[in-house]
Amino acid sequence: MRIAFLGNGAFGVPTLKALDDSIHKVVSVVTRPDRPEGRGRRVAPSPTKTTALELGIPVAEYEDLKSPQTGRLLKSLNADMWVVVAFPIIPEALLDIPALGIVNLHASLLPRYRGAAPVQWAIIRGETVTGVTTFFIDAGVDTGAVCLQREVGIGPEETAGELADRLAEVGAELIVETVVLVESREAPRIVQDQAMVTPAPKLNKADGEIDWCSGAIDVVNRVRGLNPWPGSYTFFKDERILVLRARCVSEEEIVRGRVETTAPGTIVGFLEDGSPVVVAGDGVGIALLDLQRAGRQPANGADVARGQRWQGGEHLH
């Protein structure tokens, strides 16, 4: 079967490799043009384009999915079906081009966590189980009929980046299974239960600012869920500090520099290894295990505390 792969992000790379390794032919990878990225703003290809070139798969770049030129380009691929992973919303006018439909890989158990950031929101909301879903794209956003799903547990300290890497590998296997079912005309089409819908809207940098008045577990889950992007941060005086890793701690773990206060955001002491502990809105302490000061490399919390000369009683905001 002839398959066109539509994708931009790294999440789709394992799926592209799995399809290339299957009996099916990936006739083209459709992806965005190269663009400036990172601090240096160097022009770079999308992860899927890089992988396609390594595998010897032809690449087609789009400028505007709604343009007539893009429509003609996609039709010219003469693909039986499209597989979509980490790609913008496909205009309704293009949905009928592939004869066997368009299958999308989504990083949640739909209809839960529809939207642009399902992995992040699952962790932020304290979920212990998530998964991947293959579904047939329709005119809505993540609303199409479900084909296959697979559950994946979430580790208690797992970050969004770590979980996304695992889900990408599981999703690649699920896509290959889905393609087999589509080709044989045996693919399930399960209508999503609207009563079970939860949103996973796009996140931005402002979402990363820590509210120390929140409960400790909520703060820790947000730190996990926003790592690596957009990142959680707090301020000491006028300096923004990224919080890369944190965990809730008991009072017994605070062994020095203890400060008796429940004012949220206050450093109330230090762990045996020197990691600073900040009190949250519910009175529970949060150990800051890995931090990153502005313009510096990531470091463990103890080193940052020493560099900042924290003794206890300092306030983060």
Q: In b/e form, how buried is each residue of 252-280, taking b as 16+ CB within 10 angstroms?
A: ebbeebebeeeebbbbbbbbeebbbbbbb
Comparing CA positions, the residue from 147, 148, 123 lying closest to residue 136 is 147
Domain end point (choices 196, 229, 244): 196
Same domain flag for 64 and 156: yes
Tell me how many domains the chain contains: 2
Same domain flag for 50 and 187: yes
> Is residue 303 a contact partner of residue 293, using CB atoms and an 8 Å limit?
no
Residue 192 within a domain = yes
Q: Which amino acid is at 253?
A: E
Domain end point (choices 196, 218, 240): 196
DSSP β-bridge partners for residue 270: 256, 276
Same domain flag for 112 and 210: no
Same domain flag for 66 and 146: yes
pLDDT reported for residue 88: 96
Q: Residue 296 — pLDDT band, cuts 50, 70, 90? A: very high
Quote the mean pLDDT of the chain.
97
pLDDT reported for residue 37: 81
Q: Residue 259 — pLDDT band, cuts 50, 70, 90? A: very high
- pLDDT tens-digit readout, 64-121: 999 999 999 999 999 999 999 999 999 999 999 999 999 999 999 999 999 999 999 9
The DSSP bridge pattern shows strands 299-300 and 285-293 to be antiparallel
pLDDT reported for residue 122: 98
CATH code of the domain in which 93 resides:
3.40.50.170
Please report, in angstroms and rounded to a whole number, the separation of the first and last CA atoms in the chain.
56
Q: What is the mean pLDDT of residues 181-185?
A: 97
* Predicted confidence (pLDDT) at residue 38 exceeds the cutoff of 80: no
Angle at 139 between CA 161 and CA 111, to 5 degrees: 45
Alpha-carbon span 109 to 148, nearest angstrom: 10
Beta-carbon count within 10 A of 95 CB: 16
Element (H, E) at 3: strand 2-7
* Predicted confidence (pLDDT) at residue 39 exceeds the cutoff of 80: no
Domain end point (choices 138, 164, 196): 196
Residue 147 within a domain = yes
Task: Name the residue range of residue 219's domain.
Answer: 205-308
pTM of the model: 0.96
